[in-house]
Structures are given as C-alpha cells and as structure tokens.
Amino acid sequence: MNVRTTIVFSSLALIYLATLPLTPYVAQFLPKALPIVVLAVFAYTKLSAMPRYMVLTALLFSLAGDVSLALPFADSFITGLACFFVAHLTYAMCFALLHRRL
C-alpha cells in the first residue's frame, strides 16, 4: 500500500474504534465499512484480472458481513456469519488458484 492509502485506511479504522463507545447510533455501519471500501479500491487498482475479482468479491462479502452485524435486524448475526464464511471461502479459492499458478 502506498503512504496515502495507508493513512486513509488507518484514519478510517481509528474513527471506527473511536466511535465504538457511542454505539448504537444512526449509520454506525459507515465507520465499520469504509476501511473495507478503501481496501476494495486498492485491490481493484493494484491486482491483476483473476485475483482482482476474487479479492473484490471476498471484500464485498466482508463488507456485507460488517454491515449485517452493525444493523439491528432479525438474524443479523447469522447473515453476517454467512457473509464472512463466503468471503473466507473466496479468499481460500483465490490463494489456491494463485498457488497453482506458481
């Protein structure tokens, strides 16, 4: 990661940590989700075709999992858990395909 991206990511992560004592509040999912958006933009710009789309898919499922856990709705925990499970499976498939290429 370049310095600018690292600073933006770190700042957003610190904002999320600083807002934890305020929960619950309106739009509490935003500080939790924005660092993942930064990672997704970074992955899109830096990775090649195959890993790019797999990592983006995994990051989007991670984002959905974080948002699910932050929003108060029925079965939000199960939804978030399922999203994180799919994200981890996607990461594992991506690493397996990259390992096979090497």
Distance between CA atoms of residues 8 and 25, nearest Å: 23
* Cβ atoms of 64 and 83 closer than 8 Å: yes
- Per-residue model confidence as pLDDT tens digits over 46-98: 888 888 999 999 999 999 999 999 888 899 999 999 999 999 999 999 999 98
- Per-residue model confidence as pLDDT tens digits over 27-49: 888 998 999 999 999 999 988 88
Distance between CA atoms of residues 25 and 14, nearest Å: 17
Total domain count, the chain: 1
**pTM for the complete prediction?**
0.85
Whole-angstrom CA distances from 97 to 16, 47, 55, 60 are 33, 14, 12, 19
* Cβ atoms of 33 and 69 closer than 8 Å: no
Q: Which domain holds residue 49?
A: 3-101
